[in-house]
Amino acid sequence: MASSKKLISREEWEKRLNNVKIRKEDMNKLVMNFLVTEGYVEAAEKFRMESGTHPDIDLATITDRMAVKKAVQCGNVEDAIEKINDLNPEILDTNPQLFFQLQQQRLIELIRNGKVEEALEFAQEELAPRGEENQSFLEELERTISLLVFEDTSNCPVGELLDISQRLKTATEVNAAVLTSQSHEKDPKLPSLLKMLIWAQNQLDKKAAYPCINDLSNARLEDPTF
Amino acid sequence: MPSATVNKPRPSELLSRLTSAEPEVKVRALREVKNQIIGNRTKKLSFLKLGAVPAVAGILADSIDDVTDNNNCNNDSNNAINILVQSAAALGSFACGFDAGVQAVLDAGAFPNLLRLLANPNEKVVDAVARALRMIYQSKLAPKYDFLQQKNMEFLISLLNSEKENVSGLGASIITRSCETNLEQKALFDAGILRKLNSLLEGGSLSQRDASLESLATIFRNNPEVISKFAGPEIGRPLSSIIDLAKDRYPRTRLLACMCLIVIRNASPHFLQDIGIKTKLIHILLELLDDPGQVGDEAPFAFSSLIAQKEDLQKLALEANAIDKLHHHIKKGSLHPRRYEGILLALDDMCSKLESCRSKFLSLQVLNLLADALTDYNAGVRAAACICLKSVTRSIKNLSAGYFMNETIVIPLVQLFLDPSTSVQVAALGATSNIVVDFTTRKSIFVQCGGMKQLVQLAKSMESSVRSNALWALKNFVFQADNRLKEGVFSELTASLLSSLIRDPEPSVQEQALALVRNLVDGCINLIEFVFAEDGLILGAIGRQLQCASKAEIGIQGMYALCNVASGNEFHKEAVMQLLFTQMGDKNQSFVIKFLQSNDSRLCTATVWTIVNLTCPSSPGAPGRLEKLRNAGIVSQIKNMVNDPCVDVKLRVRTVLGQSMAFGDN
């Protein structure tokens, strides 16, 4: 069956690819940007020494930020809050959503450790006033408190709150807030590039059959098929 | 190991630790206070009540000279640095978004100390102090900065030149907060501040760009001269950096850039007038409505400032589906009150002048939506809903069809007459004034909902704005209403209340009361009896008020009321005559002559109309009245007006003269 799409062979494709020049410096910057944004400070430092690429952010600030992120991931929320406030007291003062999320995480940790009385006292003293200020906070608070009602928390409707993924979600938000406060973009560039690649391939798929990349992790060209 | 401690020291215990002689204890206590209050308005309030702010401010003051150079790394100097940093951070947090906190910090005398500490050698101290000062300057309570003093301008420049973001940000905040007059704006321009801000726009960090945009907007506001100097010589370039920022990746930057461009547009007729930029601004702002945070809350207000009073922009916005988009956001529900209020006010601006916009809005079946907003728990939202309703009800087409006079809207609207907030009451009265001009026979619905009685109650309010707006609504309600309705209104009002309102201390109330009488007695001869009730209370009040009318509008309404009375029978006309000729003190001249000689042609017209009715040939007493008028010099005054530039005046004058000639006058 004849296809209206143009067929491009692997040799032709690879020839065209070779004609496109990519600068080494640009790739280095992308790598550095990824390491810095994700917080791999030692790797960033080593990469700087070995490649001579300058990070667009002071590496010392990465250490502080990573300490905060780690504290949240370990469930040490109070410690994380203190560290954020040392870094920049404005972040939590001007971001009620994030502050509430952290306080909610504290409550979850208290419940996880079976400290029911402390949890209730904490909820009443610290979280209830936030709920008064904002309807959606109140709803989240009620969801969290309902964890105490269920004996089998692994099967209850709000069980996901106890999951490690909840801590990771909060940690990511905190990381993003700190980055933004340091006037740095909170997302690395690399994912955007890959998304652009997938989009471009989808567009090209309509017009041609060509060697495409299906597995992003190894970027291998797969032969065109009809 | 997850931490889960709630064993915190009580606030009073913390405050006593602040007074400790040991620096380390002090530092820990300060840090603990700071960590308890950040993000927590309730805690800020409770610490405030315990006197935390003066305590912390006192520590700052005591330690101000303890850090004198940056090189000491021993324990003592570390403690000294930490004391300054933590106390500044705590004060900054008290001031952050919390006016009571700002006031307390200022009252505790911390402000001058914070300023001094900007010159401290230690970076961390300067950072913390600059941040605290920035928080203060975000509040309306911040001390006014005198830009016109040379020393102050130099200090401001040094702040803007700093490499530290918090310090240059402080400079920008001071400008945004304190720059108010054209003189100050010019002084800032002359000192080269705009050039500095522009460089921060192009080369600065995210927060510096945002702060610059706000400051630039403040300096440009209502100052076309500064704008043209800024945009002038390098035509297009400085403005193009702001235009580029309107497409920035960060929503807040886009919003601030749009707001700056709108300020420029509104102040100066020469810039940003082409259709391309207008369309761009509309699209960017409508898209910003999608932002879930504060940017989305503020976007509708910026949109309003763009389109308010400007039909061309309203048309463009209509074509860009603005009304659909705004409506879509309200329908989503669970809106932050600020956003809800903003969207309603944006819809108000859209519908304020163009029938096409009102039609579009009403086609979306919005009555229930508006009814919900009228009953919202937030006063700002309720007021905005009324204001929006007032614009929408300007649609004569829909008014005539009786679209608004239904219980869905009228019941919640009437409930707002009793709203605790005066501004909501006044806004509700404004919307009501339009709705009751219902050209169908459905005005009785308003009476059934208790609206008419409520209006009469409000006419007795302590607030003059409520009184005058209630009378306005009543005036519109009785406009061309049937006799039964009018009689109902009059018996509810009573002659004594109406006459005292005619004699109200506030001119706006007097005007509306007289207009109400005018509409009441208009149309049917029986209704004229109202003004004679209780020994002619109302008629007498009209006469007295006309003697001392403080503005033309009062004279106009009063004369039209008399004009309508004079359209009645002989008795009525004679009563009017007597009123016109009542002397006050030793004045020989009737106010009639004064009105006829007025520059306001509406007043002249109303007065001549009254004379027309008094001298109408079909009534037997007309010749006698004409004689009296002639003797008082009124007829000759009218003869002088035979070529008045105003057509209405001219025509009525000729009618009078025509009528007078019927009695053999020349």
B245 touches chain A (CB under 8 A): no
- Chain B residues 267-296 within an 8 A CB cutoff of chain A: 293
B34–A85: do the CB atoms touch at under 8 Å? yes
Summarize pLDDT for B328-354 with one digit per residue, the tens: 999 988 788 999 999 999 999 999 999
**What pLDDT is attached to residue B4?**
41
Q: Is residue B185 part of a domain?
A: no
Question: Got the DSSP string for B379-424?
Answer: HHHHHHHHHHHHHHTT-HHHHHTT-S-SHHHHHHHHHGGG-S-HHH
Which phi and psi angles does A77 have, rounded to 5°? -70, -40
| A96–B contact, CB cutoff 8 A | yes
Q: B6–A93: do the CB atoms touch at under 8 Å?
A: no
Q: What is the DSSP string of B472-519?
A: HHHHHHHTT--HHHHHHHHHHH-HHHHHHHHT-SSHHHHHHHHHHHHH
Minimum mean pLDDT among A61-65, A134-138, B119-123, B611-615: which range?
Answer: A134-138
Report strand pairing: A208-209 vs A6-7: parallel
Contact A121, A110 (CB under 8 A): no
Outline where DSSP puts E strands in B160-241: none
Chain B residues in contact with A183 (beta carbon < 8 A): 165, 205-207
Nearest to A93 among B4, B96, B165 (CB): B96
- Chain A: closest CA distance from residue B333 (Å): 12
Q: What is the pLDDT of residue B270?
A: 82
Q: Is A139 on the interface with B (CB under 8 A)?
A: no
* pLDDT tens sequence across B25-39: 999 999 999 999 999
* pLDDT above 50 for A68: yes
Cβ of A110 and B4 within 8 Å? yes
Do the beta carbons of residue B564 and residue B522 sit within 8 Å?
A: yes
Does B543 fall in a domain?
A: no
Contact: B42, A129; criterion CB under 8 Å: yes
Percent of chain B with pLDDT over 90: 73
| Rounded CA separation B348/B339 (Å) | 14
**Selected residue of B6, B10, B127 to mutate for chain A interface (largest A Cβ count, 10 A):** B6
pLDDT tier at A76 (50, 70, 90 boundaries)? very high
**Residue A99 touches partner B, C-beta closer than 8 Å:** yes
- The mean per-residue pLDDT over the stretch B586-590 comes to 61
Q: What angle do CA B73, B78, B82 make, to 5 degrees?
A: 150
Nearest to B460 by CA among B471, B449, B451, B450: B471
Name the residue in chain B with its Cα closest to that of A96. B39
Q: Does residue B259 have a pLDDT over 70?
A: yes
Are B499 and B538 in contact, with CB atoms under 8 Å apart?
yes
Q: Alpha-carbon distance B171 to B159, whole Å? A: 5
Exposed (0-12), middle (13-18) or buried (19+): which is B588, by Cβ within 10 Å? exposed
d(CA A109, nearest CA chain B) in Å: 7
Residue B41 C-alpha, separation from nearest chain A C-alpha, in angstroms: 9
Q: Which residue of B has its CA nearest to A179?
A: B206
Give the C-alpha separation, A98 to A92, whole Å: 7
Residue B135 lies in a domain: yes
Reference A188, options A37, A43, A62; nearest CA is A37
Count Cβ atoms below 10 Å from residue A218 Cβ, excluding itself.
Answer: 7
Interface test with B, best of A61, A78, A91, A93 (most B CBs within 10 A): A93
The confidence score (pLDDT) of residue B591 equals 86
B39·A110 Cβ contact <8 A: no
CB contact under 8 A, A113 and B4: yes
The phi and psi torsions of A221 (rounded to 5 degrees) equal -80, 130
- Closest approach of chain A CAs to the CA of B5, in angstroms? 8
The SS3 of residue B200 is helix
Q: What span, in angstroms and rounded, lies between the C-alpha atoms of B70 and B373?
A: 59
Residues 6+ apart with CB under 8 A from B364: B323, B324, B327
Q: Which of A74, A121, A180 sits opposite B2 (nearest CB)?
A: A74
Question: How far is the C-alpha of B517 from the C-alpha of B443, rounded, in Å?
Answer: 19
Out of B4, B39, B42, name the one closest to residue A99 (CB).
Answer: B39
The Cα B469–Cα B248 span in angstroms is: 46
Whether A115 contacts chain B with CB within 8 A: yes
Task: Look at residue B513 and tell me if it is in a domain.
Answer: no
Tell whether B333 lies on the interface with A, counting CB pairs under 8 A.
no
Tens of pLDDT, residues B52-68: 999 999 999 999 887 76
Interface contact A109, partner B, CB < 8 A? yes
Q: Is the pLDDT assigned to residue B546 strictly greater than 60?
A: yes
Q: What's the mean pLDDT when you consider all of chain B?
A: 91
Of A79, A121, A135, which has the smallest distance from its Cβ to B6's Cβ? A121
Other Cβ atoms within 10 Å of B408 Cβ, number:
13
CA distance A217 to chain B (A): 28
Q: Work out the pLDDT band at A20, boundaries 50, 70, 90.
A: very high
Which residues of chain B neighbour A106 with C-beta distances below 8 Å?
A: 4
Contacts of residue B65, defined as CB under 8 A and 6 or more positions apart, other chains included, come to: none
Indicate the number of domains in chain B: 3
Q: Where are the domains of chain A?
A: 189-225
The 3-state DSSP class for residue B141 equals coil
Contact B147, B153 (CB under 8 A): yes
> DSSP readout, B556-609?
HHHHHHHHHHTTS-HHHHHHHHHHHT---TT--S-HHHHHHT-S-HHHHHHHHH
Reported as a pLDDT band with limits 50, 70 and 90, residue B586 is very low
Quote the CA–CA distance of B32 and B17 in Å, as a whole number. Answer: 10
| Distance in angstroms (rounded) separating the CA atoms of residues B242 and B213 | 8
Residue A184: name the closest of B635, B49, B206 by CA.
Answer: B206
Co-location of B137 and B21 in the same domain: yes
The model's pLDDT over B360-370, given as tens digits with 9 standing for 90+, comes to 999 998 888 99
Q: Distance between CA atoms of B665 and A100, rounded to whole angstroms?
A: 89
pLDDT at A3 over 90: no
The CATH code of the domain that includes B67 is 1.25.10.10
Any idea which residue has 């700071």 for tokens? B34
- Per-residue pLDDT averaged across B357-381, rounded? 93
Looking at residue A110, its pLDDT comes to: 92
Tens digit of pLDDT for each residue in A27-41?
999 999 999 888 888
First to last CA, chain A: 10
Q: Is the pLDDT of residue B5 over 60?
A: no
pLDDT in tens, A148-166: 888 777 778 888 888 899 9
Residue A221 gets which letter from DSSP?
E
- Inspect the interface and report whether the beta carbons of B39 and A74 lie closer than 8 Å: no
Q: Quick one: which of B344, B406, B334, B396 has its CA closest to B374? A: B344
- List pLDDT tens digits, range B67-104: 766 666 677 888 889 999 999 999 999 999 999 999 99
The verdict on a CB contact (< 8 Å) between B35 and A85 is: yes
Interchain proximity A113–B92, CB inside 8 Å: no
The pLDDT tens digits of the residues spanning B169-211 come to 999 999 999 999 999 999 999 999 998 999 898 888 888 999 9
User: A129 CB near a chain B CB, below 8 Å?
Assistant: yes
Instruction: pLDDT band for B543, please (50, 70, 90 cuts).
Output: very high
Task: Report the pLDDT value the prediction gives residue B3, as an integer from 0 to 100.
Answer: 40
Q: Is B199 part of any domain? A: no
What residue has token string 């993000």? Answer: B39
Supply the range of the domain harboring residue B97.
11-143
Cβ distance B41 to A129 less than 8 Å, yes or no, reads yes
Q: Across the interface, which of B6, B35, B42 has its CB nearest the CB of A82?
A: B35
The shortest C-alpha distance from A212 to chain B (Å) reads 30
Interface test with A, best of B35, B36, B47 (most A CBs within 10 A): B35
Q: Chain A residue with minimal CA distance to B32?
A: A82
Residue of B nearest to A78 (CA): B3
What are B657's two structure tokens? 């003269």
Nearest Cα of chain A lies from the Cα of B59 at a distance, in angstroms, of 19
The answer to whether the beta carbons of residues A69 and A39 sit under 8 Å apart is yes
Residues 6+ apart with CB under 8 A from A90: A181, B92, B96, B131, B135
More confident call, B622 vs B1 = B622
Q: Which residues of A touch B131 (CB under 8 A)?
A: 89-90
Closest-CA residue in chain B for A73?
A: B2
Residue B377 sits at the chain A interface (C-beta within 8 Å): no
Per-residue pLDDT at B495 exceeds 50: yes
Q: Is residue A2's pLDDT more than 60?
A: no
Strands A212-213 and A221-222: antiparallel
Q: Is the ipTM of this complex over 0.85?
A: no
Judged by a CB distance cut-off of 8 A, whether residue B207 touches chain A is yes
Answer with the one of B121, B143, B165 that is the final residue of a domain. B143
For the record, the structure tokens of B48 come out as: 């405030």
Last residue of a domain, one of B446, B477, B508: B477
**Residue range B257-275: mean pLDDT, rounded:** 92
Return the residue of B nearest to A71 by Cα: B2
The pLDDT of residue B285 is above 60: yes
- Among B117, B143, B169, residue at a domain's last position: B143
Whether residue B1 has pLDDT greater than 70: no
Contact A109, A75 (CB under 8 A): yes
Contact B2 A135 (CB under 8 A): no
**pLDDT (tens digit per residue) in B235-251:** 556 688 899 999 998 99
Q: For residue B606, is pLDDT > 60?
A: yes
